[in-house]
Amino acid sequence: MLHLRTIVPADRTDAVCSALAEHVGVTNVVVVPGAARSPAGDLVTADVAREAANEILDALRALGLDKDGSIAVEKIDLSLSHAADEAERRAPGAGDDAVVWDEFDRQTAEGAGLTWAYLAFLALATQLAAIAAITDSAVLVVGAMVLGPEFSSIAAICFGIVTRNVRRIAGGARTLVVGFAVAIAITYVCALASRWIGVLDISELPHDRPNTAFIYSPDRWSFIVALLAGAAGVLSMTAGKSSALVGVFISVTTVPAAGNLAVALVLKHGSEIEGSILQLAVNFAGMLVAGVLTLLVQRVVWLRVVRRKGGSAERPRPLG
């Protein structure tokens, strides 16, 4: 269940209550007249089945609450209510299958933003990956994978493609390209400086790297893994199961390839430079293809579920 909190201009409170009452997936409606001060209005709250969220949000937006009032939604960790259980049962489909498009929109908007935190995490992850390449450490490779924040940008591009939002696509692509360029550049400078001062006493990368050779040697399995990871990543974000996203990070070798690329550039290893770049391209392509297809499948499947149970189907709207 989701908890809906709205600030409603007094002249629209009855209309909002009617919209909430008309949907079988809404319960526990509470109205506190005149409770809101900024913006001024009535406070209306309700519990909404996740499956009904898109229709309710569309109805509230049609009443202008996003402009003249406020709409906030939060997840309910525990709800002990027969009425809430009944609302979930009567709402079309299952909560885990429902995509709350406004929620995913907000998540991908954050992923498309180039922030200092994003650059810092990506740079740190890439440097861990570089050390993993030098020491042939599988543990550090996994650590670098988990630390990397790049999937949020990939999800932003996928959502932009599905909603035909050029701004979202451009924002996600810019964040991805600039982020990796900065992370690789920082790692390159650090590796170069470490070599000059003798911290890294290496003339070449180890020839025998059984634990990390896969990060610069892409094959057909690399693309297949990227496809599976892209689909799992989008599913974990749209279904609200963020814990599953960690598994996605550990599956793909974007950050490890970037770290290996930085070290290979310092040591001028042509074959590993080419292999790392190819690994990056294969991973990005696989995740983008799978992410877009997953969103499209979710849209079609949910459309059929809602129609079968007599509801109205929601769809992702073009943004901005």
For 14, other C-beta atoms within 10 Å of its C-beta total: 12
* Residues β-bridged to residue 73: 4
Higher-pLDDT residue of 180, 237: 180
User: DSSP code of 85?
Assistant: H
**Residues 168/320, Cβ–Cβ less than 8 Å:** yes
Residue 317 reports pLDDT greater than 90:
no
User: DSSP code of 277?
Assistant: H
**Residues 101/317, Cβ–Cβ less than 8 Å:** yes
pLDDT reported for residue 288: 95
> Once rounded to an integer, what is the mean pLDDT over residues 199-221?
74
The residues, ordered by sequence, that sit 6+ positions from 87 with a Cβ below 8 Å of its Cβ are: 1, 24, 25, 26, 27, 47, 48, 49, 52
pLDDT band (50, 70, 90) for residue 310: low
CA pair distance 156, 290, nearest whole angstrom: 13
Q: Which two tokens stand for residue 186?
A: 């920082």
63-95 pLDDT, tens digit each: 999 999 999 999 888 888 888 888 888 876 666
pLDDT reported for residue 111: 80
Higher-pLDDT residue of 74, 99: 74
Domains in the chain: ranges and CATH: 2-91 (3.30.70.260), 103-305 (1.20.1080)
**Residues 239/96, Cβ–Cβ less than 8 Å:** yes
Least confident of 131-135, 189-193, 197-201, 312-316: 312-316
pLDDT reported for residue 313: 40
Residue with tokens 């996994």: 142
Query: Hey, CA dihedral for 152, 66, 52, 41, is it positive or negative?
Result: positive
Residue 319 reports pLDDT greater than 80:
no
6-21 pLDDT, tens digit each: 999 999 999 999 999 8
pLDDT band (50, 70, 90) for residue 197: confident
294-303 pLDDT, tens digit each: 999 888 876 7
278-288 pLDDT, tens digit each: 999 999 999 99
pLDDT band (50, 70, 90) for residue 162: very high
What are the C-alpha distances in Å from 277 to residues 193, 229, 261, 285, 313? 23, 19, 7, 12, 42
> Once rounded to an integer, what is the mean pLDDT over residues 255-263?
91
Higher-pLDDT residue of 133, 202: 133
> Once rounded to an integer, what is the mean pLDDT over residues 263-272?
84
Mean of per-residue pLDDT scores for the chain: 85
Residue 315 reports pLDDT greater than 50:
no
**Residues 259/130, Cβ–Cβ less than 8 Å:** yes
Residue 163 reports pLDDT greater than 50:
yes
Residue 320 reports pLDDT greater than 50:
no
219-250 pLDDT, tens digit each: 888 899 899 989 988 888 887 555 556 556 66
pLDDT reported for residue 233: 87
* Closest to 237 (Cα-Cα) out of 114, 117, 99: 99
The H-or-E segment that residue 71 falls in is strand 70-75
As to burial, measured by CB atoms within 10 angstroms (0-12 exposed, 13-18 middle, 19+ buried), residue 45 is middle
Residues of the chain with pLDDT > 90: what percent?
44
* Cα torsion through 105, 74, 119, 255, rounded to 10: -80
**Residues 171/283, Cβ–Cβ less than 8 Å:** no
> Once rounded to an integer, what is the mean pLDDT over residues 164-176?
93
Higher-pLDDT residue of 201, 153: 153
pLDDT reported for residue 18: 92
The residues, ordered by sequence, that sit 6+ positions from 89 with a Cβ below 8 Å of its Cβ are: none
277 backbone dihedrals φ, ψ, rounded to 5°? -65, -40
**Residues 88/2, Cβ–Cβ less than 8 Å:** no
Q: Which two tokens stand for residue 117?
A: 């935190």
68 backbone dihedrals φ, ψ, rounded to 5°? -100, -5
The residues, ordered by sequence, that sit 6+ positions from 246 with a Cβ below 8 Å of its Cβ are: 146
Residue 128 reports pLDDT greater than 70:
yes
